[in-house]
Copies of this chain bind each other. A is one copy, B any other.
């Protein structure tokens, strides 16, 4: 490993990326123009592409291993929310300047950790040089039994709403990276700071809830642009409204400390991006079974997480956030939009 810049697409591909394709025959060692995939008979393929770019989704000077992890994790998070098993991915990389060998080695190591954790292989892609941010464009392939992908648009009034893990930690992690004094201001321990920064840099797709979703959920989606905005999408798609009890929304240590410091940090919990938790709408008669299955699976995950009831879908056209006494609260902003 060195800081020598890497010249030549084929050097990047064969030295640092081909090892990520080892063991998947259809990848052809990344030596062909295309890859083949043969979905399991009786399964639909579930596909998704969500590129990440420096300055938007990560910082150019973030640890390259974390950039690799996050680029894959944000895509796999969608597969998890759809009940799909990850199988493979394509990756197109763009650099404004040739990467160094040490950068590529660390980036490849982070991707390797992620693909091993998620059970998938790199099968193809592209590498080019262009001005602008470093961009990692990943397309993921997963599988569900035919016709069983968990939809966004299938929620109904009366359904119980659940969310996995906790919300707001990633937004606080970003704040802590940007402002070195914020941890002290909020009275956070070093361990809490590190945990929140890790939530920002190493999101954990909630693959453990997959079986519970397939068995019991009516609708689900992952939370990438904030609960308020993504719940709005589920409500519009399903023709419902929703009512969320904010005191039930699960918060990690950093979010709790931040809200104790100032209630404006509720926005990080309810309306900030990068949580990569799963929002689930469950018919009332399935709610107990879903909750038990999701918590059993989440409890035995390598990084255990709960799944929590936070409200319900309603027949109105609006989304209401209410406090412990049932009084409506309003948000300063409603989530992340790129435009």
| Chain A residues proximal to chain B, CB less than 8 Å | 6-9, 12, 26, 28, 31-39, 41, 44-51, 53, 55-56, 78-79, 81-82, 84, 90-92, 94, 96, 98, 123-133, 135, 137, 139, 141-142, 144, 146, 149, 151-153, 221-222, 237, 337-339
Q: Which B residues touch A142, using CB under 8 A?
A: 34
Q: How far is the CB of A32 from chain B (nearest CB, A)?
A: 5
The answer to whether B7 touches A339 (Cβ under 8 A) is yes
> Closest residue of chain B to A48, judged by CB?
B34
Whose C-beta in chain B lies nearest to the C-beta of A90? B49
The answer to whether A47 and B98 touch (CB under 8 A), given A82-B33, A153-B32, is no
Q: Specify which chain B residues have a CB less than 8 angstroms from the CB of A137 in the assembled complex.
A: 49, 51, 92, 137
A27 CB, nearest partner CB in chain B, Å: 10
Partner of A37, one of B41, B44, B152: B44
Q: Which residue of B lies closest to A99 (CB)?
A: B339
* Contact between chains at A56 and B128 (CB < 8 Å): yes
| Chain B residue nearest to A127 in the complex (CB) | B338
Whether A94 pairs with B46 at a CB distance below 8 angstroms is no
Chain B hits for A51, CB < 8 A: 92, 94, 126, 128, 137
Partner of A39, one of B45, B127, B153: B45
Q: A41-B41, A44-B26 are in contact. Are A132 and B130 (CB under 8 A)?
A: yes
C-alpha spacing A151/B151, complex, angstroms:
37
Complexed CA–CA distance, A139 and B34 (Å):
11
Min C-beta distance of A121 to chain B, whole Å: 13
Q: A44-B37, A47-B123, A92-B49 are in contact. Are A132 and B132 (CB under 8 A)?
A: yes
List 28 A–B pairs whose Cβ atoms lie within 8 Å, in order of A's numbering: A9-B339, A28-B151, A31-B152, A33-B81, A33-B82, A33-B221, A34-B82, A34-B84, A34-B149, A36-B45, A36-B144, A37-B45, A38-B44, A39-B39, A45-B45, A48-B90, A49-B90, A49-B125, A49-B126, A49-B137, A51-B128, A90-B139, A92-B137, A96-B132, A130-B338, A135-B135, A137-B137, A139-B139
